[in-house]
């Protein structure tokens, strides 16, 4: 390990599948150590994970960092958004956490949207129209299906809150992650007590919202963690807000993230209120806003299609006129929680490679349709589309985004942007700097720019037409039998 020029900070990314840790030189942005450990996610009717696994994975990942973690002056946790963590009076999980991609709360979502005046009222009130991903709908589902678990719950947390509380001993969250719950009112940046009363959740069970730049606490005596007692703990935030920090985003710069889920977002100076529900009006971690659209089906769905055909993920072939809507786990954008995948235009001469390319096209199409709604007056139409996430370095993903967007595409060289954003936030509480400015100083967004190509309007129009014609087939009402 090279000698550091400044204090060391730790950034954590607790994602759906694993926890990753980076130890970063706060002066230069050099990653001096890293660690990673996996989580288990159920694959039955819902998507659940044991929060104790997240804590165990954090400890393992930190110990992989060796002495560097022991020297850290501050730490911050970025975590998967929306997850419902229920804790008893001793701070232990009452049951496994309901994750963002658990869509069992679709019926509760419809009822909540209707009872509070419809989509427009929700957008104006909390900035977003709830989907089954949102925490408020998961709590409503839990109250209906597992009332004993609700009665045993003494505190409610989001995934990043849970880990931060294990570090500090106090219950805190930040405005970025709170804005994805459905019970935080973006207009006045406070918990909405009327919504909480409707779903039977006492506001006293919720964490305190720490403002940007404030300290959430200090590391308490937590056994074998390699931190010094008293190490500063930053507020942390949700994964998308952390990635925005990690890129050092300025308002209007468009981002397309290719991971387990796919997202498009940009920092905005204006509070978003999209009544269609396509754009979630999230807050960012700095005091501005992060309008975002998310799809459930992205890299995992495309990889599943490749596996079905026994193909490498880049073994695509052009042509064929086939359309694939890869909604393998329901869908969020478009809002089709009961959807399954749909393949249209299959012929005798259709090849597996053409079907695989159609899966890429279907996944990217959903994100690009939302991009214009995400961008506002702050957007620079000539700015490259920043391509991040696990799929960003895949050649077929890059070429598909280029072909269907018609925009230049920039692929940042920096990896683990959520953890880097958390590290930048930790550095910010040490120095008083804007964490996005810290990341820009580190040069995290540097990377090659791919020149734009002519937009493939024919493919976009074909997918839009199939989606329109098949909407009733894609999302049938749930069976009552």
Residues annotated catalytic, as ranges: 239
Cβ proximity of 48 and 25 under 8 Å: no
Secondary structure (DSSP) of 32-101: EEEEEEE-----SSS-EE-HHHHHHHHHHHHHHTTHHHHTEEEEEEEE-SS-BEEE-TTS-BSSPEEPTT
Buried b / exposed e over 49-83, threshold 16 CB at 10 Å, is bbbebbbebbbebbeebeebbebbbbbbbbbbbbb
Pairwise CA distance, residues 422 & 400, whole Å? 30
Pairwise CA distance, residues 383 & 445, whole Å? 13
Q: Is 307 helix (H, G, I), strand (E, B) or coil?
A: helix
Pairwise CA distance, residues 136 & 98, whole Å? 11
- Classify 159 in phi/psi space as left (phi over 0), alpha (psi -120 to 50) or beta: alpha
Pairwise CA distance, residues 356 & 386, whole Å? 24
Cβ proximity of 130 and 182 under 8 Å: yes
Pairwise CA distance, residues 86 & 69, whole Å? 29
Tokens found for residue 198 = 């409707």
CA 96 to chain CA mean position, Å: 19
Cβ proximity of 406 and 453 under 8 Å: yes
Cis geometry, peptide bond prior to residue 334 (ω within 30 degrees of 0): yes
């Amino acid at each position: 390990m090279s000698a550091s020029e400044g204090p060391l900070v730790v950034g954590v990314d607790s994602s759906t599948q694993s926890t990753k840790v980076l130890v970063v030189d706060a002066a230069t942005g050099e990653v001096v150590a890293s660690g990673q450990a996996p989580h288990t996610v159920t694959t039955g009717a819902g998507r659940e994970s044991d929060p104790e696994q997240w804590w165990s994975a954090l400890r393992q990942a930190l110990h992989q960092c060796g002495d560097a973690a022991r020297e850290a002056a501050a730490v911050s946790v970025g975590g998967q958004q929306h997850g419902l963590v229920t804790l008893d009076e001793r701070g232990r999980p009452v049951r496994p956490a309901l994750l963002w991609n658990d869509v069992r709360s679709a019926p509760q979502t419809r009822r909540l949207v209707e009872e509070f005046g419809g989509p427009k009222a929700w957008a104006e009130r909390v900035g977003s129209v709830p989907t089954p991903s949102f925490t408020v709908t998961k709590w409503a589902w839990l109250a209906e299906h597992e009332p004993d678990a609700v009665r045993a719950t003494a505190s409610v947390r989001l995934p990043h809150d849970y880990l931060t509380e294990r570090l500090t001993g106090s219950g805190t969250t930040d405005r970025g992650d709170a804005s994805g719950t459905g019970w935080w009112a973006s207009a006045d940046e406070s918990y909405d007590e009327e919504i909480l009363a409707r779903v039977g959740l006492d506001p006293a069970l919720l964490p305190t919202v720490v403002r940007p730049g404030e300290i959430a606490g200090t590391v308490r005596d937590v056994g074998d963690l390699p931190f010094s007692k008293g190490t500063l703990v930053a507020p942390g935030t949700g994964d998308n807000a952390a990635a925005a920090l990690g890129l050092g985003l300025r308002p209007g710069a468009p981002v397309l993230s290719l991971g387990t889920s796919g997202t498009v977002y940009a920092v905005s100076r204006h509070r978003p209120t999209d009544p269609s529900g396509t754009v979630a009006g999230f807050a960012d971690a700095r005091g501005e806003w992060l309008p975002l659209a998310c799809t459930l089906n992205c890299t995992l769905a495309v990889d599943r299609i490749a596996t079905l055909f026994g193909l490498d993920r880049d073994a695509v072939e052009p042509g064929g006129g086939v359309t694939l809507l890869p909604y393998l786990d329901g869908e969020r954008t478009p809002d089709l929680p009961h959807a399954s995948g749909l393949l249209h235009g299959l012929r005798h001469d259709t090849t597996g490679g053409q079907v695989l390319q159609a899966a890429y096209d279907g996944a990217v199409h959903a994100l690009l349709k939302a991009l214009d709604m995400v961008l506002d007056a702050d957007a620079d139409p000539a700015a490259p589309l920043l391509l991040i996430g696990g799929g960003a370095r895949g050649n077929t993903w890059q070429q598909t985004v280029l072909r269907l967007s018609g925009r230049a595409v920039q692929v940042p060289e920096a990896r683990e942007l959520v953890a880097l954003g958390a590290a930048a936030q930790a550095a910010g509480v040490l120095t008083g700097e804007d964490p996005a400015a810290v990341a820009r100083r580190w040069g995290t967004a540097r990377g090659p720019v791919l020149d734009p190509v002519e937009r493939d309007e024919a493919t976009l129009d074909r997918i839009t037409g199939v989606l329109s014609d098949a909407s009733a087939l894609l999302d049938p009402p749930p069976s009552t039998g």
